[in-house]
């Protein structure tokens, strides 16, 4: 994804990321490892944004920090599941881009934790 096109609204950015993960998983070769790893990948990829949204609705600072930590953990887990998938040769760059974006989300969430 082009740097200039990245949304700065983290809720929107995490939603777009989850949609990209879903599209990537849909195109993976249909074998047992990709099916099982893909299911986990879809869950963790979507959970980043879901937990970030929950953090924004937190009732306390402690709750906010916990949700951000969970969101960051889910981003790290997403990288793990991405690395386990076996994409088609046409999907290699897409996989690399998703790993990079998950890493950037982890860094952003880590910075939020430091500042909160």
pLDDT in tens, 28-60: 999 999 999 999 999 999 999 999 999 999 999
Pick the CATH number of 3-115 from 2.40.50.140, 1.10.357.10, 1.20.1440.60, 3.40.50.970: 1.20.1440.60
**What digits encode the pLDDT tens for the residues 81-91?**
999 999 999 99
Our CA dihedral for 8, 37, 40, 26, rounded to 10 degrees, sits at: 60
7 pLDDT above the threshold of 70? no
Q: Where are the alpha helices (DSSP H) in the chain?
A: 10-27, 32-56, 61-84, 92-115
Residue ranges per structural domain of the chain: 3-115
Cβ neighbour number for residue 58 with a 10 Å cutoff: 14
**What digits encode the pLDDT tens for the residues 59-83?**
999 999 999 999 999 999 999 999 9
How high does pLDDT run on average in the chain?
A: 94
Burial of 3 from C-beta contacts in 10 A (0-12 / 13-18 / 19+): exposed
Mean pLDDT of 13-35: 97
């Amino acid at each position: 994804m082009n740097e200039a096109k990245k949304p700065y609204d983290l809720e929107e950015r995490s939603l777009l990321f989850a949609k990209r993960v879903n599209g990537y998983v849909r195109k993976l070769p249909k074998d047992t490892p990709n099916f099982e790893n893909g299911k986990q990948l879809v869950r963790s990829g979507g959970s980043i944004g879901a937990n970030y949204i929950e953090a924004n609705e937190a009732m306390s600072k402690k709750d906010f920090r916990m949700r951000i930590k969970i969101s960051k953990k889910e981003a790290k887990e997403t990288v793990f599941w991405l690395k386990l998938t076996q994409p088609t040769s046409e999907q290699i760059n897409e996989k690399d881009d998703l790993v990079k974006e998950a890493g950037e989300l982890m860094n952003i969430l880590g910075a939020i934790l430091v500042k909160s």
